[in-house]
Amino acid sequence: MAADLEGGCACGAMRYRLASRPMFVNCCHCRDCQRQTGSAFVLNALIEADRVVLLSGNAEASAVPTPSGKPQEIYRCPSCRVALWSVYGGAQKLRFVRVGTLDTPQALPPDAHIYVRSKLSWVMLPDYVPAFEAYYDARKLWPYESLERRRTIFGEAPVTLK
């Protein structure tokens, strides 16, 4: 399974491995993600930073403005500039890994579709994956084990997960 969860950038300078499956996978259809990826949506695997094992290279952060005013940092390969993961609101313990950078992105299908209010009309969503106009209450949606993992890094305080 571990081999399924290796990934990297386009030039090969950056390689990483996820030490476990993520807590949750969001498919985000918001306008920010559309603009940042140049595509219809982004697939983000939410995982503890210390479970993203760097095999080679060192990602560089670039700050991106957000409507909420909370900073988002996109971590990119310093050579080819492909985006590998994001950190939201300075929460360095949690990474939003770009599923498309995995060698086998098929390994991590979305657990939820979010911000479908700005979903492009030609994107058809399946009935069996929950979809939300904006965001959702993770306490009601995430598996218990994933909530426990989130509590381990953040404590009980509520966190905003995009």
Q: Which residues bind Zn ion (CB under 5 A)?
A: 9, 11, 13, 28, 30, 33, 77, 79-80
The amino acid present at 102, given as its one-letter code, is: L
**Residue closer to Zn ion (CB basis): 10 or 19:** 10
Q: How far is the CB of 52 from Zn ion (least distance, A)?
A: 16
Q: How far is the CB of 8 from Zn ion (least distance, A)?
A: 7
Alpha carbon distance 125, 123 (integer Å): 6
Q: What's the DSSP call for residue 131?
A: B
**Residue closer to Zn ion (CB basis): 40 or 153:** 40
**Residue closer to Zn ion (CB basis): 16 or 144:** 16
**Residue closer to Zn ion (CB basis): 23 or 83:** 83
> Under a CB-based contact definition with an 8 Å cutoff, are residues 17 and 107 in contact?
no
Q: How far is the CB of 56 from Zn ion (least distance, A)?
A: 10
Q: What's the DSSP call for residue 52?
A: E
